[in-house]
Structure 1
Amino acid sequence: MIAHLKGRLDATGIDHAVIDVGGVGYLVGASARTLAALGRTGEAATLFTEMLVTEDSIRLVGFAHAAERDWFRLLTGVQGVGARVALAILSALEPADLSRAVLAQDKATVARANGVGPKLAERIVRELKDRIGGVALGPAAAAQAMPSGAGADAVSALLNLGFRPAEAAGAVAQAEEELGPGSTLDALVRLALRKASR
């Protein structure tokens, strides 16, 4: 499994980028939002990745932030949502906006994405509400839904250990509050694990 790529942006297309890592060019599918965040050709680039394996292909999909990758995983877990539709949703909505839409059961917002009709939008908000937890709406929920930097990496680590997104985000938010700004990923994960197990 390839978790992330760190190298030089070699080229971009409508729906992909090529990242040169030590002389090897990785073709990575990406949302419009991620492609816009990458910068110019020839500059350093880092992408969080998800590997998609099917009977006839192996593909990489890349994301500018771990939270976007986590939402991709949630979205593709919904019946009828493939990689293309998930990327279209993430091109149209930031993770924080998507969190608010799911928690508010706002299918019209999700339906703004290309390829998402009303029925699919309704299925997405209905199925994902239980998966992201019943977090109350408001600024605190938005902050929990979209941590950045070491916080986002810590949430991703907890998700990989099997925690639900709401549990992971809540535990990391408490750990960040207790440790203060500039805390390391290792310290955040350790304290978040203690908070989540209480």
Structure 2
Amino acid sequence: MTVDKRVLLLLDVQVCNLCDPPKGAPSAALLRTNIFRVLSTARNAKPPPRIIHVRNCGEQGEPDETKSPGWQLFFPPLVHEHVVDKLKNNAFAATRLAELVPPEAEIVVVGLGSDFSVRATCSVALDRGNEVILIRGAHGTFDRVEVLHGGGITPAFRIEAEVEAELEEAGVLILDLKDVQGIFTDR
């Protein structure tokens, strides 16, 4: 598979999401390690995939407010890697991502938030005809405060598992970190 046919998509891998809790995701330390492992493997692959960093541009006062410290990418992109700024959960909406990702490309997805950007972007990629791979342990989210049915908190790990099950049912391939090396090996 050529470089243009394989894409590593890093969704919202930003300082605000990967700083230590309570501001960052509950599993921020593990996510930093695992996402870095996927990114390093991709960068060292021969040939490397197209690597695209997608950065969410939050509103004024939000942790990912444009140009704020939290908005910055956690892992600085290399000169040949692409950066796409987005305003919606779906990274294809009103961005140039569709121009960078051919419809026949295999997309490997890591990042945040599982129940927002990851879910929306994976769903749209499937609709476009892309093969989509989500790496378990390299995507995450925040605990969710439930407003209905007596309140409570749904822990992030439960949300992540629910999103994996939903996306797998829709056609996304869910792979483990141990599979990453083989993903980026030319076939």
Q: Does the alignment reach a TM-score above 0.5? A: no
Q: For the pair shown, which has the larger CA radius of gyration, 1 or 2?
A: 1
TM-score interval (norm. to shorter): under 0.3
Normalised to the residue count of structure 2, the TM-score between the two structures is 0.27
More helix by percentage = 1
* TM-score w.r.t. length of structure 1: 0.26
